[in-house]
Structure 1
Amino acid sequence: MHDDHDHDHGLAHDLAVMERMMARRRALKWFAGAGTVALVAGCGGSDASTGTTSSSSATATPTPTPSTTATPTPTATGTTTACIADPTETAGPYPADGTNSASGSTSNVLTASGVVRSDIRASFIGATTVATGVQVTLTLTLVDVNATCAPLAGYAIYLWHCDRQGLYSLYTASAQSYLRGVQVTDANGQVTFTTIFPGCYDGRWPHIHFEVYSSLSNATSGRYATLVSQLALPSSVCSTVYVDTATYPSSSSNFARIALSSDGVFADNTAAQIAQQTPTMTGSPSAGYQAAAVIGLAR
């Protein structure tokens, strides 16, 4: 065994070895340059992916998402396609629906003959006095809020309110039975009452009372109301009507002292509830008013 060193073989051998070493260094230098180019190219791709140049952002193609083809929301086709349940309100001290008494006896106009009527301006028990004031034709549409606001046919609605002086028949106007009546909803869920614009008495926002019954027989039996609530009359119409102090002697001054926000019935209602409880009205004091409101019932 012996050591075999390159420098032991003479000049010719050393030259050959040097030649091979030079070739090897050139190859290594070439590979190092190629690696640098590859590295730079890799960095250029990373920059493009960040969108720092206009060319890279222009060629990017976003992938569509399912949200762009979501099913559109159906468009409402009528005024009763958006409704809420009317809040329950007090019947007050003058309902005449068999739940309290007047003049020492139970007052229940619902059991009286002739209570089913559209024009409620005249008394129909004893006296025949006709309540005077600005005429109002009020159409109510009863809908089921749990069935996409579908109209409710065959329901009975009992409507009552005070007269132009703020008095209620059978109670503070005890000899009268005007401004009370019952109607049955038609196929469109509608009833229409011809009445007068009620006066404003001290401490209450001008309003109309109503009760909803599932049938006429339930209404005329009394004490089976599905909903007891009230309508709030529009402020602008109140101001217009009450200017006539000859017809509405105390309403203007009473109205000036009350607001929806301070009313004992409407004050705690939401804006949406007040909006539905306020009838839309068109007309004038001289020509009369056409009014309409939706009543939402949660069955």
Structure 2
Amino acid sequence: MSGRDDAHDHGLQHDLQRMHDLARENIGRRRTLRLLFSVSGAALIGACGGGSASSGESTSTTTPAPTPTPTPTPTATGSCVADPEETNGPYPADGSNSRNGTVVNVLDDSGIVRGDIRSSFGSSTATASGLYTTLTITLVNVNGGCAPLAGYAIYIWHCDINGKYSLYDLPAENYLRGLGVTDANGQLTFTTIFAGCYDGRYPHIHFEVYPSLARATAYGNRILCSQFAMPAATCSTVYATSAYASSRNNFAGESISSDNVFGDNSAAQQAAMTIAMTGDITNGFTGTVTVGVAI
């Protein structure tokens, strides 16, 4: 037999002693390996280090934490003009006046928050006739780099094709009035008809700005009341149609510069208050306008 096989013939005591010796040898090997790893690792780190050997001090390089990138604040393109405060006129239905001894306030009516303002809501559902028009309003902060203002409420109202106002001239109707809230881009869009023109005024749309929908319940909470001017060239086109015959005669003697509301504003303000409009009498019109407020 080989020497390895002979080891099994020396009895239990011999085997136990042999197992003890082997265990000690294994422990020694593990300790030796750890020592060798520690020494070689230290040597490797020393060889790769970037510190000066003559300084006697170890050096370390700390990677700076990345600087958080701020979330950009959306801004409107171009410059913006603060819209002037203007009268809300005799037909606002915002709680500021009365008709036949009763305060008229459509702002607290269910249904006033809507995008399409062509029809009445409530007891009447009549729809105002006239050329289809959409109006997108962008609200910006003139004190904040023209940044869009989200979450603000805007109330608009205007006359029909014959220059009549709902709730006053037409007490059974409340059409051509609506309230909306600006989105993340400071915008909201109303669907309406092209406003008519009545004697003594340049064609216009009234509006009021409120700090929130919750506050848009009465005129006392508004932060701005002003008016939009309809573009003269489009007015000439629209009022040439038979449906707007009465507006055509009233518009003939009006201009934005001679108007008793728009006339005393600067040229820049008049331009900012005038709706930019595209379209035609067949397909309707699309208007855009920017309202500047100081927040």
The TM-score normalised by the length of structure 1 is 0.72
Write out aligned runs for 1:179-198 (5 A): 179-198=176-195
1:8-56 deviations in Å (ceiling 9; x for gaps): xxxxxxxxxxxxxxxxxxxxxxxxxxxxxxxxxxxxxxxxxxxxxxxxx
2:77 and 2:274 map into 1 onto residues whose CA distance is 15
Q: Does residue 1:283 correspond to 2:254, yes or no?
A: no
1:138 and 1:262 map into 2 onto residues whose CA distance is 25
1:272 and 1:286 map into 2 onto residues whose CA distance is 32
Aligned to 1:296: 292
SS for the counterpart of 1:139 is: strand
Aligned to 1:111: 108
2:94 and 2:268 map into 1 onto residues whose CA distance is 29
2:80 and 2:254 map into 1 onto residues whose CA distance is 28
1:212 and 1:80 map into 2 onto residues whose CA distance is 21
Aligned to 2:250: 254
1:77-128 deviations in Å (ceiling 9; x for gaps): 9863300100011000000000001132000000000000000000013211
1:155 and 1:169 map into 2 onto residues whose CA distance is 25
Q: Is the 8 A contact 1:80 1:143 kept in 2?
A: no
Q: Which runs of 5+ in 2 are unaligned?
A: 1-73
Amino acid at match of 1:231: F
Task: Measure how far apart 1:175 and its partner are.
Answer: 1.1
Write out aligned runs for 1:161-180 (5 A): 161-180=158-177
Amino acid at match of 2:120: S
1:78 and 1:221 map into 2 onto residues whose CA distance is 30
Q: Is the 8 A contact 2:279 2:286 kept in 1?
A: yes
Task: Measure how far apart 1:133 and its partner are.
Answer: 0.4
Paired residues in the alignment total: 222
Aligned to 2:228: 231
1:131 and 1:157 map into 2 onto residues whose CA distance is 21
SS for the counterpart of 1:110 is: coil
Task: Measure how far apart 1:249 and its partner are.
Answer: 2.6
Task: Measure how far apart 1:174 and its partner are.
Answer: 1.2
Amino acid at match of 2:108: T
Q: Does residue 1:240 correspond to 2:237, yes or no?
A: yes
**Further displaced range: 125-134 or 104-113:** 125-134
Amino acid at match of 2:262: F
SS for the counterpart of 2:202 is: coil
Aligned to 1:18: none
1:221 and 1:274 map into 2 onto residues whose CA distance is 27
Aligned to 1:134: 131
1:79 and 1:156 map into 2 onto residues whose CA distance is 18
Q: Does residue 1:83 correspond to 2:83, yes or no?
A: no
Q: Is the 8 A contact 1:81 1:148 kept in 2?
A: no
Aligned to 1:58: none
1:199 and 1:218 map into 2 onto residues whose CA distance is 30
Q: Is the 8 A contact 1:234 1:278 kept in 2?
A: yes
**Cα RMSD for the two superposed structures:** 1.3
2:222 and 2:255 map into 1 onto residues whose CA distance is 29
Aligned to 1:266: 262
Q: Is the 8 A contact 1:231 1:278 kept in 2?
A: yes
SS for the counterpart of 2:222 is: coil
2:75 and 2:181 map into 1 onto residues whose CA distance is 22
SS for the counterpart of 2:133 is: strand
| Residue identity (%) | 58
Q: Is the 8 A contact 2:76 2:148 kept in 1?
A: no
Aligned to 2:42: none
2:142 and 2:107 map into 1 onto residues whose CA distance is 27
Aligned to 1:204: 201
Residues 79 and 152 of structure 1: is their aligned pair in 2 closer, same or farther, counting only changes over 3 Å? closer
1:203 and 1:125 map into 2 onto residues whose CA distance is 32
Task: Measure how far apart 1:259 and its partner are.
Answer: 1.4
1:171 and 1:249 map into 2 onto residues whose CA distance is 22
Task: Measure how far apart 1:279 and its partner are.
Answer: 1.0
2:92 and 2:218 map into 1 onto residues whose CA distance is 15
